[in-house]
Amino acid sequence: AALARSVTEAAAEAVARSGRFTLGLSGGSLVALLARELPPALSAAPAADPSRWLVAFCDERLVPPEHPESTGGAYRV
């Protein structure tokens, strides 16, 4: 929950300052953690405005998005 709050606070500051927030996401256990904790954190911080986010998936494995080990694919599920 602390990580999700930190992300939303940084997002709110960035959106207020420059109109956008850029976030790089890795895979692994972070996927489940953010899926569980980020929605409530965003509900509590409307200034974080996810429509203003640019999200990049950081994936060291050179696999297509539909591959089971793809970071981007893990977040889509």
Mean pLDDT of the chain: 90
In whole angstroms, what is the distance from residue 58 CA to residue 72 CA? 8
pTM (2 decimals)?
0.82
Q: Is the dihedral of CA 23, 40, 9, 4 positive or negative?
A: negative
pLDDT at 29: 87
Q: pLDDT tens digits for 37-68?
A: 999 999 999 999 999 999 988 877 778 878 87
pLDDT at 75: 82
pLDDT at 64: 84
pLDDT at 77: 67
Whether the Cβ atoms of residue 45 and residue 14 lie closer than 8 Å to each other: no
DSSP character string of 46-77: GGG-GGGEEEEE---S---TTSTT-HHHHHH-
